[in-house]
Amino acid sequence: MPTGCVALLVTLGMGPVLEEQPLGHVPATVDVVATEPLDDALDAPPDEEPEPPEPEDDEVPLVTTLEEALAGAPEVEVPPRPTVVRHRVRPRERVGQIAVRYGVTPEELWKWNKKLDPQAIYPGHRHLKVRARRLPPPRRKVRYRVQEGESWMDVSAKFQIEHRDLHAYNWSERDLETGMELVLWVDPGWPRTIHPGAGPPIPEHFELPTGARSVGRPNRGRLEAGILLPPSELYTRKVPSTGLYGSSHTIEQIHRAFAIFRHDAGYEGEVIIGAISRRRGGRFSPHLSHQSGRDIDIRLPLWPTVPPSISSAGPDEIDWYATWYLVKSFIATGEVATIFLDVSRHRNLYEAARAMGETPDSLESVIKWPRWSGGVRPGPVVRHSEGHDTHIHVRIKCGPDEPRCKRR
């Protein structure tokens, strides 16, 4: 274990990271402290009992797949009332991730754990008090032997672990060699939302109103005979729907993309369409574009355990796997010009795509991450746009019956 990498590894983390520390044994379930009274349980002195030493690495199970690593874990329990538990912090676990596991918000965790500063890194924070809305089994430590030709990114994708976390678990940045053993932490308690191919079939035709046309540019244009995005089981419309008018071509692509998305991802959660254009198009404050009926703002789906009371969704609350399927489904229509996403979230999207089975080659035309040098021609579909960190902005191409639509 080379120690020269320590400084580098610490800077790999972004946001509040609960740093690596000596670990106790891995309990079969979380420790339930009390079901009530809640405030008393939260105020109880922390459990200072010494924990057994960390198991030797050769006692940690050796696995070959994620399924094997998760096998046999207890089911997530949903108690009738929130239940106070003590969470043992695992290496690299972030406050946002702990919140998602227990169905609470980071703000609640900070309230229940007064010394938890959202901006700081926490060596020595062994336990957090949580008033849990779900009781997941703990993270698990496993070992994995590197297969021929595998890179760090390949292994992180295989086990759905963030790339930078995998480096940190192993205190190493050196190239992988076949047969090398890595330590991984996997999370059987994390919500699973993707069930590939399990959704409803994709219709061949969509019965939708025609005759609405995009005129001019997205930043300086209008919408002729705009049609309101109809209600559908495929998506949820933002209320009020005064900004949900589009061209016929755009409305059709939304239906096609969402039908592909629901089928391919088997995703059952809500996805909210927030803005397209006004009925006649034109200026639509605060947007600069959204003027010609072919720009669509879609809120990024959150993990189903995130409480609706969350004030603002950070990257840990966003379901990047569902987001990747959404992006992929829009691209599959063949009618997408660009998808805008803040560059601070490109890593999340790229790693989710890899975890869902994409390869560097299949992503070459989609997203530039992680290769910033060496221009890609033509430019990738996903591009940076400031502030698009909780929604994507999809721009549909001009349709075949839109002669006055201008590309840009």
Q: Which residues form the interface with Zn ion (CB under 5 A)?
A: 297, 393
Taking the complex as a whole, the smallest distance from the CB of residue 76 to Zn ion amounts, in Å, to: 35
Residue nearest to Zn ion (CB): 393
Taking the complex as a whole, the smallest distance from the CB of residue 219 to Zn ion amounts, in Å, to: 11
What is the spatial distance between Cα 348 and Cα 319, in angstroms, rounded to a whole number?
Answer: 10
Please report which residue ranges of 31-187 form alpha helices under DSSP H.
Answer: 38-43, 66-70, 95-102, 106-112, 152-158, 163-170
Taking the complex as a whole, the smallest distance from the CB of residue 152 to Zn ion amounts, in Å, to: 34
| Helix-, strand-, coil-residue percentages of the chain, each rounded to 5 | 25, 20, 55
Name the residue type at position 398. C
297: part of which helix (H) or strand (E)? strand 295-299
Taking the complex as a whole, the smallest distance from the CB of residue 394 to Zn ion amounts, in Å, to: 9
- CA 172 to chain centroid, in Å, comes to 25
What is the spatial distance between Cα 245 and Cα 221, in angstroms, rounded to a whole number?
Answer: 14
Taking the complex as a whole, the smallest distance from the CB of residue 193 to Zn ion amounts, in Å, to: 24
Burial class (CB in 10 A: 0-12, 13-18, 19+), 3: exposed
Residue 361 or residue 386: which is nearer to Zn ion going by CB? Answer: 386
Taking the complex as a whole, the smallest distance from the CB of residue 183 to Zn ion amounts, in Å, to: 42
Taking the complex as a whole, the smallest distance from the CB of residue 255 to Zn ion amounts, in Å, to: 19
Residue 150 or residue 297: which is nearer to Zn ion going by CB? Answer: 297
What is the spatial distance between Cα 352 and Cα 331, in angstroms, rounded to a whole number?
Answer: 16
Residue 94 or residue 299: which is nearer to Zn ion going by CB? Answer: 299
What is the spatial distance between Cα 122 and Cα 115, in angstroms, rounded to a whole number?
Answer: 10
Q: Are 254 and 294 in contact (CB under 8 A)?
A: no
Please report which residue ranges of 182-283 form alpha helices under DSSP H.
Answer: 248-265
Indicate if the alpha-carbon torsion angle 99, 100, 102, 104 is positive or negative. Answer: positive
Residue 193 or residue 219: which is nearer to Zn ion going by CB? Answer: 219
Q: Are strands 220-224 and 213-217 parallel, antiparallel or unpaired?
A: antiparallel
Residue 87 or residue 391: which is nearer to Zn ion going by CB? Answer: 391
Taking the complex as a whole, the smallest distance from the CB of residue 65 to Zn ion amounts, in Å, to: 39
* Distance between first and last Cα of the chain: 53
Residue 297 or residue 317: which is nearer to Zn ion going by CB? Answer: 297
Residue 101 or residue 393: which is nearer to Zn ion going by CB? Answer: 393
Residue 252 or residue 297: which is nearer to Zn ion going by CB? Answer: 297
